[in-house]
Amino acid sequence: MFADVRAILLDRDGVINVESDAFIKSPNEWVPLPGVIEAVAALSTQSVRIAICSNQSGIARNKISGANLSAIHRKMFHTLVSAGGRIDVMRYCPHGPDENCRCRKPRGGMILDLCRTFNLHPKDALVIGDAERDLVAALDAGSRAALVRTGRGLEAERSARRLQVPVFDDLLSIATEFIRQP
Ligand SMILES: [Mg+2]
Ligand SMILES: [Zn+2]
């Protein structure tokens, strides 16, 4: 299933950290999901690029300041890296749903940009998300996708089946399967 995957592009909220309807606005509100720190550390032992691509419309909605978003990401990086993890690139879309940008998922712009950064064909990238828009963005870019049941993932399971995207319990399940492949 993961043959020739050379980049793993992770959604943030609901895949790496606990999702919140009220937006993650400060480092205190950033809480990693169970097993994620181990999962990123395990993936980091593999010859695969690892990136995060996240819609952060809280910026456009004035719910989060740029400084707080940076502080959240510093905490996330510190948490993952101090456990042996590696995040090669972090990308986020700061726009709102009405701005019609090319980066906000379900559009594939962030994924295409990351593939360009890594000098990879989009089909060699695996996008991991907890929402239909992550999966649609992946397929829009020509990449592969997987859904996790964490975050809003349970609500998106039917979409995943329709899009023929594989479903896993969580990021650790994917990491375990990924490192087991020959
Ligand atoms: Mg999400
Ligand atoms: Zn955008």
- pLDDT at residue 120 tops 90: yes
Residue 13 annotated among the catalytic residues of the structure: yes
- Would you say residue 49 lies in a domain? yes
pLDDT score recorded for residue 106? 98
Angle, vertex CA 110, rays to CA 3 and CA 67, nearest 5:
125
What's the CA-to-centroid distance between 60 and ligand 2, angstroms? 10
What integer best gives the mean pLDDT of the chain? 97
pLDDT score recorded for residue 41? 98
Amino acid of residue 31:
V
Q: From CA 147, how far away is CA 166, in angstroms rounded?
A: 6
Whether the pTM exceeds 0.75: the reply is yes
- Would you say residue 119 lies in a domain? yes
- Would you say residue 67 lies in a domain? yes
Give the model's confidence band at 181: pLDDT under 50 very low, under 70 low, under 90 confident, else very high: confident
**What's the rounded mean pLDDT across residues 100-106?**
98
Surface-to-core class of residue 75, CB atoms within 10 Å of its CB (0-12 exposed, 13-18 middle, 19+ buried): middle
Residue 21 annotated among the catalytic residues of the structure: no
Residue of 4, 13, 124, 134 marked active site:
13
pLDDT score recorded for residue 19? 96
pLDDT score recorded for residue 1? 83
- pLDDT at residue 13 tops 90: yes
- Which of 139, 142, 141, 182 minimizes the C-alpha distance to 164? 139
Smallest-distance ligand from the CA of 53: 1
- Would you say residue 101 lies in a domain? yes
What pLDDT, in 10s, does the model give residues 56-68?
Answer: 999 999 999 999 9
**What's the rounded mean pLDDT across residues 41-61?**
97
Whole-number percent of the chain with pLDDT over 90: 98
Q: 148 is in which domain, residue-wise?
A: 7-180
**What's the rounded mean pLDDT across residues 48-61?**
97
- Would you say residue 1 lies in a domain? no
- Which of 62, 39, 50, 23 minimizes the C-alpha distance to 171? 39
Q: Look at the chain and report how many structural domains it folds into.
A: 1
- pLDDT at residue 182 tops 80: no
Q: Read off the CATH number of the domain in which 62 is found.
A: 3.40.50.1000
Give residue for tokens 């709102």.
Answer: 96
pLDDT score recorded for residue 91? 97
Smallest-distance ligand from the CA of 96: 2
Half-sphere exposure of residue 166, counting CA atoms within 13 Å on the CB side? 15
What pLDDT, in 10s, does the model give residues 128-146?
Answer: 999 999 999 999 999 999 9
What pLDDT, in 10s, does the model give residues 140-175?
Answer: 999 999 999 999 999 999 999 999 999 999 999 999
- Would you say residue 40 lies in a domain? yes
- Would you say residue 95 lies in a domain? yes
- Would you say residue 148 lies in a domain? yes
